[in-house]
Amino acid sequence: MRMSAAVLALSCAAALGACAVNFEDHAPPAPAIDAQGLVDARQGGMAMSVGALGAVSAGYDKKAAPRSYRLPAEGLAKFARSLSALFDGRTAGVPGTEASPAIWSDATGFAARTAQYRDATGALLAAIDAGDDAGIAAALASTKAACKACHDTYRTQ
Ligand code: HEC
């Protein structure tokens, strides 16, 4: 006996439906996070940023070869790119954090501050690679301004 096109179409649709249900049944669980570990990573990275920024500033001030202070600048740029992951909403309220709840209640504003910082540290690294003294000076100033702009609103101390 030959199946009609309509019956065939119907059974295909049913099979696809079964497939979709199957996918949902086997959806992977949301990955667990280590909230304390993320808070330690961001506090440690922030603390080390003081030294990294100081090393870049000192190198620039004494007119050292830009490549001699490229590594700390690269660290700042990469750390800047990690901030949205480190400030996962599930880390709110971990004991010892100085992260303001505004980071999550005003996610758009915080994203603007992380983008400002990412752009400033990216420009700093690019200017170092180009050996562009004026560019390094400008990007150092905008990087420091980006630290302060974020802390003013999103850090509690
Ligand atoms: C986009 C926002 C943002 C930017 C940009 C930013 N910070 Fe922070 N910083 C924070 C927040 C929020 C905390 C609190 C983190 C916590 O306690 O969980 C913090 C904490 C710190 C701390 C304390 C770390 C500790 O041991 O508890 C230092 C030091 C610091 N930042 C330095 C800097 C420096 C230097 C820069 C720039 C080179 C910078 N930050 C850029 C948001 C920012």
Is the model's pLDDT at 80 over the cut of 60?
A: yes
| Residue 26 belongs to some domain of the structure | no
* Per-residue pLDDT at 99: 98
* Per-residue pLDDT at 29: 79
**Site to substitute for ligand 1 among 116, 155, 156, 157, most atoms within 8 A of C-beta:** 155
Q: How far is residue 130 CA from its own chain's centroid?
A: 25
Please report, rounded to a whole number, the percentage of residues in the chain having pLDDT higher than 90: 78
**Site to substitute for ligand 1 among 40, 42, 43, 46, most atoms within 8 A of C-beta:** 46
The 10s digit of each residue's pLDDT in 2-59 is: 545 544 444 444 444 444 455 556 778 778 899 999 999 999 999 999 999 999 999 9
| Residue 7 belongs to some domain of the structure | no
CB of 60 within 6 A of ligand 1: the answer is: no
Q: 150 lies in which domain range?
A: 35-154
| Residue 130 belongs to some domain of the structure | yes
**Radius of gyration (C-alpha) of the chain in whole angstroms:** 24
Q: What is the CATH number of the domain that holds 52?
A: 1.20.120.10
| Residue 108 belongs to some domain of the structure | yes
Domain count, the chain: 1
| Residue 109 belongs to some domain of the structure | yes
| Residue 106 belongs to some domain of the structure | yes
How far from 116 is each of 2, 83, 101, CA to CA, in Å? 66, 12, 20
pTM metric for this prediction? 0.85
Mean pLDDT rounded to a whole number for the chain: 89
Distance CA 43, CA 25 (A): 38
Distance CA 150, CA 116 (A): 9
| Residue 44 belongs to some domain of the structure | yes
Is the model's pLDDT at 90 over the cut of 90?
A: yes
* Per-residue pLDDT at 31: 80
Closest atom of ligand 1 to 98 CA is 17
| Residue 57 belongs to some domain of the structure | yes
The 10s digit of each residue's pLDDT in 108-123 is: 999 999 999 999 999 9
Tokens coding 147: 């630290």
